[in-house]
Structure 1
């Protein structure tokens, strides 16, 4: 993702221009014509759900997956409830790093009377108003009321670009505070150092101290250049922070801040390669162009203006949170060993890295979200992330499920990266060293692998209960060895492992590893061992083989990870026929799930309006929670049980009731883990889903009920030959959301499913929408 613009991007832009100027363009209404001619970034609403924000949630001045995610912070303590919080009207700095368990480099422009003392180090916050604020992908503008300073922010991948308009007064000293020793979001920032390298140039470093999740410190390096001279630097003895006094700026002050996790020299190189000039508007435009290209991969027509705005906001969120940690030359921080080292990514013939290295929250639940969206619409991203995870394996011996700071975090449970990487292989995105990849994934599924470690279990591998899983066919609850980490919910873990074993078996079959295929397919049936036939639910099971007493299917985290038994019972994406059999037949399974949806509708299908609401006595008992990963696939379970009409009904109902809001106080009503919920919303709204994460040969997509009249997916020609895939929903509307039998290239799709190879070879999927099911 560095270097020259790929040919396919150039061709795609040309294609868009031709599309927009063609006299044959479908212009069903004047609104559609106007929407087609506008920028997609103008449809994004970045402040969605920011009343419930967490440190890595909000983005403004950043590029897709950029190392720099520059934005204002209104709360700076704790991973949850921090960062940009809409209701807090006080800016406490502008930070460059908002990532999973990583933060840092907070700066604040300050205008103070020249005779004032240095109390500014402990008193520098400023109010601001949303009335004068402007936010769009790649850009942020606000005014610091206390100082009468207008602030503009933008960025490249690795460089933050600031523009400050200080008040013009002889009595005002213009300065910039570098808050290099402070608490920022999830971690303490310490050992901050800043030095002057020249009249307009500085450099420095700071250390992100360990967190419970990220167990090792990480040093961050930075390089700063300004367009005005630095008169002097003051260091405060108490806070150990730095104040830069600027020498009589009579024009807007521009400041470039490049970061690196390897060295100051590489931070300077990042700036040299990505931002050698001083044209702020050019960078804003470049960022806008990059976001437009990404967002325009899916073009929608129809529905309401609000629906289209929310859709592109969801799509934008699907490309957020997970961050690049490698430099432009491929250097990256490797913290997987006993000693920190600087790693080097493999290079192409032109000397550029073959891929970027990433920081990422867990892929837990990704099989129902980014597996499908990235694999179809952004295959180059899915490939890069897969290669990055394999780099962690080369360095540290395990494929991560959520790396941070160049190291494993052991966030959540299971081997959630297996479905992601297997899906990338089955879609043809990765073709080299498949045996080596299989070996790495297999290690994760065996004793000593990552599957045996529960949440944040850094020093042991007991919490995953692998010994029990292999001996008994399930993980007990409670775990007899005691607590080692968190999320020790044995039946939920068993369900995850069984599904992930199935996905690994699919790769074994592809590689003709027949014994392994049989072995892991046998393990994939272990979900049956935690189904309590008398109760009709998955249930917690003790090590003795007895069902846990006082069973309550709605008790939260009573044997199930971030869920209850009612929600997690449907976590059998690889064998819903078998689950239906356990329930007494598909008809009874359908009736049971339909009743759960009817009950969940009373609470808008989610456990309150935010993730922490799941602990609320009422919300935690909801039978379906589409605000967290364990049951987000459930609307499409009906498809696999032979009732596509109920999939269509419930997905449209859920979207309308729960995922159509466009305001700071609403959005995902739960846990938007770095693109997972944004991706889910996109898939619901275009009517495509993959129940088993796209892990079988020639993966299958289930067809739902798109809310738009037309969906056009531009396919990346470097991976897929078809040009574009179109979904047309004729006679679509609020009361016409049931689809007759889908038709693709003249063929009726009786099972409401379409294969990956058919989609990527291009064509049009026709849906005739009706008022009542057939």
Structure 2
């Protein structure tokens, strides 16, 4: 498609709620071609890489070069041997893996079907993947709808064509067992695989599939869960459609009939391109270098994937929140379609500085669906989840990390749900027996989170005096998290006129002071007797702190930085300390090495600021809250240049890109918009820093906001600091603009 061609997204082939809902905007370039899919893929994990997938697609079809474990698996750039093409790359889940091949006899077909490939002939963009299997001399093309994978193979001859369905054994984070495959008629295939429980996902989850070939099936052979489907000797090309469902084969078939009733592969590639262009085109950037623009859209692409749809086109979804599995049903609208999609998701830990801010401004319909999905989990199982997987509560990470995300959505007017139900569910999470009481992956008890100590003593002791119940039982960090999350819930209580609850949770929100050591001026772990940790080292990693050290975690008080500064001796003293930390962190590139895997390295773990993990992603903006916006401007620019720039398979996020968290942070800091608290206040504000581009145009969703578009212009990009900020020709005295004003639309001019 030519860059000048106008692209209008037309949702054909699929029902109204069968994919992520979109705002229709007119765009005049292919943003898809700006995406560099290989960014950081040398370090990727199972759910990181995506190619032949739609935004938040249930199907995440792509090659697998490594299949052992959640970490270091999936598509790894430096491993050029493909072991299969899996349809599910999700948080703690995998799915059917297939491999086209030239049959060489049963022994080889089942044991050595993998094939080398080269990046020289590989072609990848959002929604499409092309690769050549050197061993079999087969050209493979992949695309998809939301719930259906679409394959096109070109074989070297008409003979010995086959597709191997690999349905047993380790596949990324999950071991697949109890596989089934049945040939129905001449061309249809049905089956399922079961993901066994993992440490993080405590219950099994089945993935059902319905596949169609465009050629007759000659025979099928089975050996230990590997099913070799042989095709008739007619033509060199073959296509396959494979739909999945987490509820039944019948629903997988319905997903296919709704989303992909035809065999036009190129049409689906183009349809996927159009959808991605619509999503990426919500933000248009102009100026700076081509490399910076490509990196921006690559970051934005990452912010719109990873967290996956688990409901079918008819609204059926897997519910594993109670003792026995059941199939749930999303409520239907007047047209008989599901009101929202249900989602699989990693934790919202750190989302208050990342996807919460980006989605709620630019993609409010996505934020809306996620809030409704999280409330559905509450109605089913009695808790708002931290990170659900296949209908399971996983209790990933710590605290009630969904609270700031959901409260921020409500305060910004994203409200397609019952606010009383929202408050009820979140309040329950913050009380004994709720999700805040559980530590990481604590499935059977509610003691590892130390919540009752937090309520009764004002802090979570470290170590936990009751023993070990899960992961991340790091009391100092837990205290900080709970305090901020309590503040967020207090804001919702105030907006709903729940005055007693507002007072109660505001009182809890200052509990962070109980783990501030006035002698060392660090946040410091404290035991149940009230004694400070004796051998405390503020640079010791995970010693009372969750995926952080004391120097990083000390600044995790986004709701009361002025109060924190007073404890440190005043704003100037706080600024001096933080400035020293940034100067030291700069020597190490602001991250603990170049990947999450080396974060515990003896040298890297002692970094005082780490932009490679969530706990200190807000620290450059702390200066702004301490009356030094100039230092925020300075350090944001340096972090962007050091951490979130460049296009390379070896680096990209220099840490753990947890399903859009780092991608969205990179987008926000490059746009020059940031929120310290996810906007949980009734009148939330954005901290404005200088964008790296000359001009940005944000398409606003008029189903949620009154404005049509928001333009941000930089008058002189060569000057590094902001001297004046105007919005719709009105000069602002500081460097903050309210959300309620921005979404009216207009122009921000940065001088």
In the superposition, the TM-score normalised over structure 2's length comes to 0.97
The superposition leaves residues 707-741 of structure 1 with CA deviations (integer Å, 9 ceiling, x where unpaired) of 000011000111111101111011103xx221112
> What corresponds to 1:110 in structure 2?
101
Out of 439, 447, 462, which is 1:454 matched to? 439
Out of 136, 146, 153, which is 2:135 matched to? 146
Q: Once the 2 structures are TM-superposed, how far is the Cα of residue 742 of structure 1 from its aligned partner?
A: 1.1
Q: What secondary structure does 2:599 align onto?
A: helix
Query: Distance between the aligned counterparts of 1:699 and 1:386, measured in 2?
Result: 19
Conserved 8 A contact 1:75-1:84: yes
> What corresponds to 1:66 in structure 2?
57
Q: Once the 2 structures are TM-superposed, how far is the Cα of residue 38 of structure 1 from its aligned partner?
A: 3.3
Out of 174, 185, 193, which is 2:180 matched to? 193
Q: What secondary structure does 1:164 align onto?
A: strand
In the TM superposition, 1:165-564 aligns within 5 A as 165-168=154-157, 172-236=159-223, 239-430=224-415, 432-564=417-549
Query: Distance between the aligned counterparts of 2:377 and 2:617, measured in 1?
Result: 29
Asked whether 1:746 is paired with 2:733, we answer no
Asked whether 1:123 is paired with 2:112, we answer yes
Query: Distance between the aligned counterparts of 2:405 and 2:698, measured in 1?
Result: 21
Q: Once the 2 structures are TM-superposed, how far is the Cα of residue 654 of structure 1 from its aligned partner?
A: 0.9
Provide the aligned length of Structure 1 versus Structure 2: 738
RMSD: 1.4
In the TM superposition, 1:39-78 aligns within 5 A as 39-78=30-69
Q: What secondary structure does 1:205 align onto?
A: strand
Out of 608, 619, 626, which is 1:634 matched to? 619
Query: Distance between the aligned counterparts of 2:197 and 2:410, measured in 1?
Result: 34
Conserved 8 A contact 1:174-1:246: yes
Asked whether 1:3 is paired with 2:15, we answer yes
Q: What secondary structure does 2:160 align onto?
A: strand
Query: Distance between the aligned counterparts of 2:173 and 2:40, measured in 1?
Result: 20
In the TM superposition, 1:24-43 aligns within 5 A as 37-43=28-34
In structure 2, relative to structure 1, the CA distance for the partners of 1:11 and 1:270 (3 Å cut) is: closer
Conserved 8 A contact 1:651-1:705: no
Out of 566, 569, 574, which is 1:581 matched to? 566
The superposition leaves residues 82-116 of structure 1 with CA deviations (integer Å, 9 ceiling, x where unpaired) of 00000001000000000000001000001134xx3
> What corresponds to 2:71 in structure 1?
80
In the TM superposition, 1:86-97 aligns within 5 A as 86-97=77-88
Conserved 8 A contact 2:474-2:544: yes
Query: Distance between the aligned counterparts of 1:761 and 1:375, measured in 2?
Result: 14
> What corresponds to 2:8 in structure 1?
none
In structure 2, relative to structure 1, the CA distance for the partners of 1:533 and 1:11 (3 Å cut) is: closer
The superposition leaves residues 62-93 of structure 1 with CA deviations (integer Å, 9 ceiling, x where unpaired) of 00000000000000001000000000010000
Query: Distance between the aligned counterparts of 1:431 and 1:290, measured in 2?
Result: 24
The superposition leaves residues 401-423 of structure 1 with CA deviations (integer Å, 9 ceiling, x where unpaired) of 10001010000000001101101
Conserved 8 A contact 1:399-1:441: yes
Q: Once the 2 structures are TM-superposed, how far is the Cα of residue 446 of structure 1 from its aligned partner?
A: 0.3
Divergent runs of 4+, >6 A: 8-11
Query: Distance between the aligned counterparts of 1:344 and 1:767, measured in 2?
Result: 48
Conserved 8 A contact 1:425-1:431: no
Query: Distance between the aligned counterparts of 1:684 and 1:357, measured in 2?
Result: 30
Q: What secondary structure does 1:183 align onto?
A: strand
The superposition leaves residues 587-628 of structure 1 with CA deviations (integer Å, 9 ceiling, x where unpaired) of 111111111011000110000011121110010000000010
Q: Once the 2 structures are TM-superposed, how far is the Cα of residue 11 of structure 1 from its aligned partner?
A: 8.0
Query: Distance between the aligned counterparts of 2:146 and 2:728, measured in 1?
Result: 41
List gaps (5 residues or longer) in structure 1: 17-36, 769-774
> What corresponds to 1:595 in structure 2?
580
> What corresponds to 1:32 in structure 2?
none
Asked whether 1:756 is paired with 2:746, we answer no
Q: Once the 2 structures are TM-superposed, how far is the Cα of residue 3 of structure 1 from its aligned partner?
A: 2.7
Q: Once the 2 structures are TM-superposed, how far is the Cα of residue 748 of structure 1 from its aligned partner?
A: 2.4
Query: Distance between the aligned counterparts of 1:713 and 1:498, measured in 2?
Result: 33
Conserved 8 A contact 2:340-2:372: yes
> What corresponds to 1:624 in structure 2?
609
In structure 2, relative to structure 1, the CA distance for the partners of 1:505 and 1:13 (3 Å cut) is: closer
Conserved 8 A contact 2:22-2:365: no
Q: What secondary structure does 1:615 align onto?
A: coil
Q: Once the 2 structures are TM-superposed, how far is the Cα of residue 431 of structure 1 from its aligned partner?
A: 5.3
> What corresponds to 1:646 in structure 2?
631
Query: Distance between the aligned counterparts of 2:182 and 2:651, measured in 1?
Result: 44
Q: What secondary structure does 1:132 align onto?
A: coil
Q: Once the 2 structures are TM-superposed, how far is the Cα of residue 5 of structure 1 from its aligned partner?
A: 9.5
Q: Once the 2 structures are TM-superposed, how far is the Cα of residue 188 of structure 1 from its aligned partner?
A: 0.2
List gaps (5 residues or longer) in structure 2: 1-10
In the superposition, the TM-score normalised over structure 1's length comes to 0.94
Q: Once the 2 structures are TM-superposed, how far is the Cα of residue 10 of structure 1 from its aligned partner?
A: 9.2
